[in-house]
Amino acid sequence: DKAGHRHFMAKEIAEQPSRLTSALSFYLSDDGAIRLPEPGIDFTGVDRLTMVACGTASYACHVAKYWFEQLAGLPVDIDVASEFRYREPPLAARTTALFVSQSGETADTLAALRYCRGKADRILCVVNVAESSIARESDLALPILAGPEIGVASTKAFSCQLLVLGVLALEAARQRGRLDGAAYAEQVESLRALPGLVNHALSISDEAARIATRLAEARDVLFLGRGRMFPLALEGALKLKEISYIHAEAYASGELKHGPIALVDKSVPVIVMAPHDELFDKTVSNMQEVMARGGRVLLITDRAGAAAASHGVWETLVMPDVADLWAPILYAVPAQLLAYHTAMAKGTDVDQPRNLAKSVTVE
């Protein structure tokens, strides 16, 4: 049931405010305390977190790495499951392994989990399907409560994975004494603001559709982001290529001049994801290098970012203001909407892209 939408993907993008609200009410009590399913997680005994996933779920891990490291001072290793399992990496003492999967059935992720059995202190998972193999075989399963995701391209599962990982990072920071009560309460409040902000961000859909008619003419698209926004650039590129079949690549903004800038000319749209945060000026200087070479820049930013840096850019999408830390959750929305509308403009099968399956249970 598409609930009046043309595609499951559109429905699932639109559902994000209510799905995020469900996840928040599961993990936060009224007094603002974080509640984890029993028996909870003791982060004071963890020296290292090893995160393993595939595709979009692995990009959620990459965002979470910034959160765990910056907020909780907890070192994080990440690998895609198909590399991790065959590399057979040694796990350091006091390592907790964390697997992220929408379906809970991805073959490589499940095999990586089984490899960690007996090697990691503890096996956690962040899953959407609670009755899945990955959930069953973990010591503790943390549900993302996104509801069934039918569209092959993951949308609401990604934002809900991010939310749950953000909650975990906050809890880790609190337990490890890295956040005082006021700072913790402030971050909890900013998490609570997300459903409303995501709802507001959905209103850029018409503008994204207008821009998408131009993106649909491109053969290649580059995405750039720095820090927490780099994984969002990766996610934007993956979404675009999987449903519109346009070749898209993402780079950390600072890597541009180490090679990819050679690709830039006026036929390659460059999508820059940059809220006005502590790294904004650095990203803008990379953006100016693109424009100086004739590149057409689509800047996705907030009001302050647009006021500071819209000059000379091809298009600007203005997002609501959001706490710096949680911006990746909000900026998932324009990444999804641009891919969706570009696919619509090209007439591709959005919910059932060629060659792809929703659940990859073969290796």
> Binding of ligand F6R at residue 175 (CB under 6 A)?
no
Measured CA to CA in angstroms, residue 261 lies from 171, 288, 291, 296, 306 at distances of 40, 12, 11, 13, 23
Name the segment binding ligand F6R (CB under 6 A); options: 29-37, 52-60, 200-208, 211-219.
52-60
Q: Give yes or no for residue 283 binding ligand F6R (CB under 6 A).
A: no
Q: How far is CA 333 from CA 35, 88, 113, 300, in A?
A: 27, 36, 30, 11
Strands (E), 168-324: 220-225, 247-252, 269-273, 296-302, 315-319
Q: Are 251 and 338 in contact (CB under 8 A)?
A: no
57 near ligand F6R, rule: CB under 6 A? yes
**Active site (annotated) includes residue 282:** no
CA quadruple 156, 61, 22, 335: dihedral sign: negative
Q: How distant, in Å, are the alpha carbons of 40, 67, 174, 209, 288 from that of 181? A: 20, 18, 8, 43, 41
Residue 331: CB minimum distance to ligand F6R, A: 16
Nearer to ligand F6R, 20 or 256 (CB): 20
* 153 touches ligand F6R by CB under 6 A: yes
Q: How is 58-100 classified by DSSP, letter by letter?
A: HHHHHHHHHHHHHHH---EEEEEHHHHHHH-----TTEEEEEE
Q: Is 56 in the site for ligand F6R (CB under 6 A)?
A: yes
Respond yes or no on whether the N-terminal peptide bond of residue 39 is cis (omega within 30° of 0).
yes
In whole angstroms, the minimum distance from the beta carbon of 332 to ligand F6R comes to: 11
Q: Which of residues 236-265 bind ligand F6R (CB under 6 A)?
A: 238, 242
Which one of the spans 101-109, 116-124, 195-203, 333-341 is the region binding ligand F6R (CB under 6 A)?
Answer: 101-109
| Beta carbon of residue 29, minimum distance to ligand F6R (angstroms, whole number) | 28
Q: Which residue is nearest to ligand F6R (CB)?
A: 55
By CB under 6 A, name the one of 55, 227, 260, 269 that touches ligand F6R: 55
CB of 347 to ligand F6R, least distance (A): 20
Residue from 16, 50, 95, 109 touching ligand F6R (CB under 6 A): that is 109
* Helix, strand, coil % in the chain, rounded to nearest 5: 50, 15, 35
Regarding 205 and contact with ligand F6R (CB under 6 A), the answer is: no
Among 50, 102, 175, 342, binds ligand F6R (CB under 6 A): 102
Active site residues: 358
The residues of the shown chain that bind ligand F6R, judged by CB under 6 A, are: 54-57, 101-103, 106, 109, 153-154, 238, 242, 359-360
